[in-house]
Amino acid sequence: MLEVYHAEPGANSLKVLLALKEKQIEFQSCYISLNKFEQHEDWFKAINPMGQVPVIVHDGKVINESTVINEYLDAVFEGPKLRPDDEYGRAMMRIWTKWVDEYFCPALSYLAWNQIIAAMVKDLTEAEFEAKLARIPLKEQRDKWRITAREGYPQDRLDEWRGQVASSITRLETALAKGGPWLLGEQFTLADIAVFSMAHPVPMGYPDLMNDRDTPHLMAWHRRMLERPGVQAALAMPNRYRDEMLASKRADLNPGGASR
Ligand SMILES: N[C@@H](CCC(=O)N[C@@H](CS)C(=O)NCC(=O)O)C(=O)O
């Protein structure tokens, strides 16, 4: 029995959904609404004291940390191998997955939070907001919520993170220009999955950084990823956040609810 607690198919949740779908592992999907702060509810913190998704529960054993989860899934479940057989290849794969966790993902995450959190909490009173903050177990996450919900990060920090996204894109383009079709060459691995989970929205969010003219090899890799049935299945998982945003935009455009 495998339960997977995840949010929308984006970022760290997408990373685990990609491995599950690529390996065609059956699992019970347990959707956690970050919009409703379900990740900070006591019942969820009893499963993951970090108050974050994704988390898996396999035969009663809990594992958090998306990169660790993916290595576990690949080791324990049948399906196509997503790690090289040789130790050197695995080391090269882990250099990518570690870099995604420690560098690429945080830069993108701070920039994204700075854009979306204020809108998410705008309807809460100060007391309601403080009550929500008090339930967040990690101090650094509490700080991130508080800053992005209210004043936002200063421009020099935002510029620094944007610079890190730009250098990440250059690093990926350089690596893929040397070979491919995947990051480690012929074998599709967890490195591709980790990078894709973060890079997927970049052509849309930062078209000046990732585009056909400046990063053709990275764009070609992105298109190859999108052709994979496993990637398509992961991206097709419910995206309630996007659906709610679209519904509220439609309501703004059509406030009286009159039909078209
Ligand atoms: N290092 C963790 C990070 C998990 C993480 O940051 N999850 C985000 C979603 S991508 C989350 O739960 N954010 C909500 C929050 O922190 O309140 C992993 O790789 O699983």
Confidence check: pLDDT of 101 > 70: yes
Structural tokens at position 203: 């052509």
Mutate to test the pocket of ligand 1, among 5, 52, 146 (most ligand atoms within 8 A of CB): 52
When mean pLDDT is compared across 124-138, 169-183, 190-204, 246-260, the lowest value belongs to 246-260
Atom in ligand 1 nearest the alpha carbon of residue 13: 10
Pairing of strands 2-6, 28-31: parallel
This prediction has a pTM of 0.94
CA of 72 to the centre of ligand 1 (A): 18
CA distance linking residue 156 with residue 137, whole number of Å:
28
CA of 4 to the centre of ligand 1 (A): 14
What is residue 255's predicted lDDT score, i.e. its pLDDT? 65
Q: Is the CB of 198 under 6 A from ligand 1?
A: no
Q: Is the CB of 141 under 6 A from ligand 1?
A: yes
> Cβ of 207: how many Cβ atoms within 10 Å?
9
Confidence check: pLDDT of 260 > 50: no
Atom in ligand 1 nearest the alpha carbon of residue 64: 20
CA of 96 to the centre of ligand 1 (A): 18
**183 neighbors 192 (Cβ within 8 angstroms):** yes
**What is the mean predicted confidence (pLDDT) over 167-182?**
97
Position with higher pLDDT, 258 vs 15 = 15
What is residue 152's predicted lDDT score, i.e. its pLDDT? 94
**182 neighbors 228 (Cβ within 8 angstroms):** no
CA of 241 to the centre of ligand 1 (A): 16
CA of 52 to the centre of ligand 1 (A): 5
